[in-house]
């Protein structure tokens, strides 16, 4: 015998699928409206749940966005890339990042996060803190070279610049270049940032974890 539904119209009982539906709705709203114009109520309407359920799972719009960032990047998938020969780390990282952006499953999620981050300081701060803690920090710790934090920050700037030019602004010929050709051009540059000689002077801040 089926359960009687006694909640408000549109509310999903229990946890079944609700969190995932909210995240899917949030990605659509962040991609379409950016961070500032996206609201918890709008996300709830898109997900066909009560706004109270969004607060239950994520507490706030900031919490929804932070979860969307984590789901888009999935840092645990990047950790195996840090293992292996340091001499080919740049190529492995670049191949992984380009593969994520060119994945039909992940492209829209990443696009929503980046578009929100470049249009609103709160979203930018959430993404910056996440990347420092979950991506650039572990990368710095994995490097055996001096100036580890500086090297991981340089890598981050290079990858973010490439992503912006290729996938967001779509600057030609980068936007239409083949993935193998981009890897052939960029991988040595990234590798030099990770393990090559850096002409920049060392300071006390270069040993700190990227923020």
Residues 75, 107 share a domain: yes
Inform me whether the pLDDT recorded for 97 exceeds 70: yes
Q: How many CA atoms lie within 13 A of 157 on its CB side?
A: 11
What per-residue confidence (pLDDT) applies to 199?
Answer: 83
More confident residue, 76 or 10: 76
pLDDT, tens digit, 9 for 90 and up, residues 121-171? 999 999 999 999 999 999 998 888 889 999 999 999 999 999 999 999 999
Q: What is the pTM of this model?
A: 0.81
Q: Residue 210: pLDDT above 60?
A: no
Residues 35, 76 within the same domain: no
Q: Are residues 52 and 77 in the same domain?
A: no
Instruction: Say what the pLDDT of residue 3 is.
Output: 33
Instruction: Please give the C-alpha separations between residue 180 and each of 35, 43, 161, 174, in angstroms, as whole numbers.
Output: 33, 38, 18, 12
Reply yes or no on whether the pLDDT at 206 is more than 50: no
Is the peptide bond between 173 and the residue preceding it cis, with omega within 30 degrees of 0?
Answer: yes
- The verdict on 110 and 49 lying in the same domain is no
Residue 31 sits in the same domain as residue 75 = no
Q: Could you tell me the CATH number of the domain that includes residue 48?
A: 1.10.10.60
Please work out, in degrees rounded to the nearest 5, the angle formed at the alpha carbon of residue 116 by the alpha carbons of 193 and 20.
105
Would 1 be classed as within a structural domain? Answer: no
Q: Are residues 63 and 112 in the same domain?
A: no
- Give the tens place of pLDDT for each residue, 63-94: 999 999 999 999 888 888 988 888 999 999 99
Is 161 found in the same domain as 88?
yes
Are 100 and 131 in the same domain? Answer: yes
Judge whether 145 lies within some domain. Answer: yes
Quote the radius of gyration of the chain (alpha carbons, Å).
20
Domain that holds residue 110: 71-207
CATH number at 159 reads 1.10.357.10
Domain count, the chain: 2
C-alpha triplet 186, 211, 158: angle, nearest 5°:
10
Pair 85, 162 in one domain = yes
Q: Is residue 156 part of a domain?
A: yes
Instruction: Please check whether residues 46 and 85 belong to one and the same domain.
Output: no
């Amino acid at each position: 015998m089926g359960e009687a539904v006694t909640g408000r119209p549109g509310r999903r009982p229990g946890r079944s699928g609700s969190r995932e539906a909210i995240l899917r709705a949030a990605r659509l709203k962040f991609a379409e409206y950016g961070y500032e114009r996206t609201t918890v109520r709008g996300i709830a309407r898109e997900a066909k749940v009560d706004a109270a359920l969004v607060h239950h799972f994520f507490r706030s719009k900031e919490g929804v966005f932070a979860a969307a960032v984590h789901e888009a990047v999935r840092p645990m998938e990047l950790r195996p890339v840090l293992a292996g020969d340091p001499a080919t780390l740049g190529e492995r990282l670049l191949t992984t990042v380009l593969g994520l952006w060119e994945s039909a499953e992940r492209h829209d999620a990443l696009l929503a996060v980046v578009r929100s981050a470049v249009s609103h300081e709160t979203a930018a701060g959430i993404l910056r803190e996440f990347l420092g803690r979950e991506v650039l920090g572990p990368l710095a710790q994995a490097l055996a070279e001096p100036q580890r934090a500086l090297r991981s920050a340089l890598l981050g700037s290079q990858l973010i610049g490439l992503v912006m030019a290729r996938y967001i602004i779509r600057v030609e010929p980068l936007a239409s270049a083949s993935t193998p050709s981009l890897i052939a051009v960029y991988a040595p540059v990234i590798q030099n940032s990770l393990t090559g000689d850096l002409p920049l002077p060392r300071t006390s801040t270069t040993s700190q974890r990227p923020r």
